[in-house]
Chain A
């Protein structure tokens, strides 16, 4: 059994980007998250492991201000959620299972649409399209693009407004090794942003992590610095 350290045993950190204390969220009778507490410093990466249905996506959506916590205290980039959600929005980027792109619009039209919402210039749109090497096909409707290309456009959308906090749900799914290398400067450790990553890849996840959170049935069963966790302990979460 993996031990769940008390919140106070989490790494002592300055200027936290995230602070969760007893976070709970349920859907009807089902508890998706229960009593999750942690602190993450600015610029650090939290990697969340856990089997399907453990609550990883729910956690990301709460941090993205898309779901309200039902109890507990949540602070994202210094803003209390949900009371100050409006202040956190625009400072975070979400890359989830859904690319948040309209299939009938082209990649460029989608990014321009998001650019208008975030008050970002068209030059920045061209810059991120270049960064994910999709410029040549940016005039095609998203429905015509392969899943890997759609994921690259979704990465461009998530970082378009240069968010301080990146919330990434299995960000490298559908990407080939070359594409992973391509998006690394945008969403990898080189991006120098605070990141929360949901992952099923113990090796890759641990390599990116500063802090590791293990979830099972909505509860935090592991919270530790990355250096204190071994791959086989992560694998234990899935058994």
Chain B
């Protein structure tokens, strides 16, 4: 299993490094959206609930770009068939794809979060960063699991570009709510409030539930 996951992950990262189809697009989208918010709100800075909402909604829509591309090379270039012909555990692909999407999200957030701090956020990100990273990691894990599940479902349909976001957005809304509520105190002026633990637990449970659902369903999505 570990060898298979390693081979799949290496292949994913090599393809992304050669094509640069996902991470640069997601990063550019996020930065552009922050600029649009900056002018649309006609405010120099935001904080608290508004800041958390803008950050998480932008991250969500940027993630959709990556989710839509996740299985395209496999579907268009016979990767599914090549994988299915091998005597390996189908779950290896789920793990590799979740890890790939997680890597994409972390890579694009290295650009997007500081850009958000520079372009929109009133309070400094510095003090909030360690806790914010924890909230982002929990949210990213959920996005990666749900995104992989939905992308695997949508990619073999003719309307995959439409179906992917249509299926993903309702399932990702609880992550946006949990992420925004957990981040809000961190992005408030003074940010001395403790992290709301119940939202972190909610995010963690949501990740776990969808992780189990994805593990149970993924084989069926790959097979005929």
Q: Are B85 and A94 neighbours in the complex by a CB distance under 8 Å? A: yes
Q: Are A114 and B77 neighbours in the complex by a CB distance under 8 Å? A: no
CB distance from B17 to the nearest CB of A (A): 9
Majority SS at the chain B contact face: helix
Q: Are A102 and B77 neighbours in the complex by a CB distance under 8 Å? A: yes
Interface contacts (Cβ under 8 Å), in number, total 74
Any A CB within 8 A of the CB of B3:
yes
Q: Are B224 and A67 neighbours in the complex by a CB distance under 8 Å? A: yes
Chain A positions 58-78 with a Cβ under 8 Å from a chain B Cβ? 64-68
Chain B positions 1-45 with a Cβ under 8 Å from a chain A Cβ? 3-4, 6-7, 10-11, 14-15, 18-19
* In the complex, chain B residues whose CB is within 8 Å of the CB of A118: 86-87
Any B CB within 8 A of the CB of A124:
no
Chain A positions 93-114 with a Cβ under 8 Å from a chain B Cβ? 93-94, 96, 98-105, 109, 113-114
Q: Are B81 and A116 neighbours in the complex by a CB distance under 8 Å? A: no
Any A CB within 8 A of the CB of B79:
yes
CA distance A104 to B77 in the complex (A): 10
Interface residues, chain B, with chain A CB atoms under 8 Å away = 3-4, 6-7, 10-11, 14-15, 18-19, 73, 77-79, 81-88, 223-224
Interface residues, chain A, with chain B CB atoms under 8 Å away = 64-68, 86, 89-90, 92-94, 96, 98-105, 109, 113-114, 116-119, 141, 157
The 5 closest A-B pairs by CB, nearest first: A90-B87, A116-B7, A117-B86, A100-B78, A98-B78
Interface pairs (8), CB distance under 8 Å: A65-B85, A86-B87, A89-B84, A89-B87, A109-B11, A113-B7, A116-B3, A117-B86
